[in-house]
């Protein structure tokens, strides 16, 4: 019975774990370094096909997504991270 009861909770997600995952992924995107990493991968696409009449490829879309996420989520991430640090310090 203990084994069967454990099966329910084996891959159980709570909403809290979803929020945690979202915060961690967004943090990972936000800490990517511009000079060392992104411009090396991104420079090939920027000077290449700029994709006006054509649909941009997957790499251009991914870089676009990363850039826009970094710009938009910079300030909210500061707030959310500070709040979660305080909450984790207080409530463990």
Partner 1 sequence: MDLPHHGYRASKQRGRGTPTGGESMLFDDTSASGMNTQGYYTPGYSMAGPQNDTQAGVSNLFADPMANAAVMYGSSLANQGKDMVNKEISRFMSVNKLKYFFAVDTKYVMKKLMILMFPYTHQDWEVRYHRDTPLTPRQDVNAPDLYIPTMAFITYILLAGMALGIQKRFSPEVLGLCASTALVWVIIEVLVMLLSLYLLTVHSDLSTFDLIAYSGYKYVGMIFTVLCGLLFGSDGYFVALAWSSCALMFFIVRSLKMKILTSLTSDSMSTSSSAKPQMRMYITMATALFQPVIIYWLTSHLVR
The residues of the shown chain that bind partner 1, judged by CB under 8 A, are 1, 4-5, 7-9, 11-15, 17-18, 53-56, 58, 61-62, 65
Which of 18, 36, 26 minimizes the C-alpha distance to 66? 26
Which of 90, 46, 86 minimizes the C-alpha distance to 67? 46
Least Cβ distance, residue 2 to partner 1 (angstroms): 11
- Measured from the CB atom, the residue of 65 and 78 that comes closer to partner 1 is 65
- Tell me the torsion sign for CA atoms 13, 85, 36, 51: positive
Report, in angstroms and rounded to the nearest whole number, the Rg of the chain calculated over CA atoms. Answer: 19
- Measured from the CB atom, the residue of 17 and 84 that comes closer to partner 1 is 17
Least Cβ distance, residue 35 to partner 1 (angstroms): 25
Neighbour-count burial of 80, counting CB atoms closer than 10 A to its CB (0-12 exposed, 13-18 middle, 19+ buried): middle
Least Cβ distance, residue 89 to partner 1 (angstroms): 26
Least Cβ distance, residue 80 to partner 1 (angstroms): 18
- Measured from the CB atom, the residue of 64 and 81 that comes closer to partner 1 is 64
């Amino acid at each position: 019975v203990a084994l069967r009861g454990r099966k329910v909770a084996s891959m159980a997600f709570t909403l809290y774990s979803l929020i945690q995952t979202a915060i961690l992924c967004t943090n990972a995107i936000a800490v990517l370094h511009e000079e060392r990493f992104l411009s090396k991968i991104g420079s090939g696409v920027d000077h290449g096909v700029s994709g006006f009449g054509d649909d941009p490829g997957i790499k251009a879309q991914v870089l676009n997504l990363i850039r826009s996420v970094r710009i938009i989520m910079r300030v909210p991430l500061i707030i959310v991270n500070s709040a979660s640090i305080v909450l984790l310090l207080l409530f463990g």
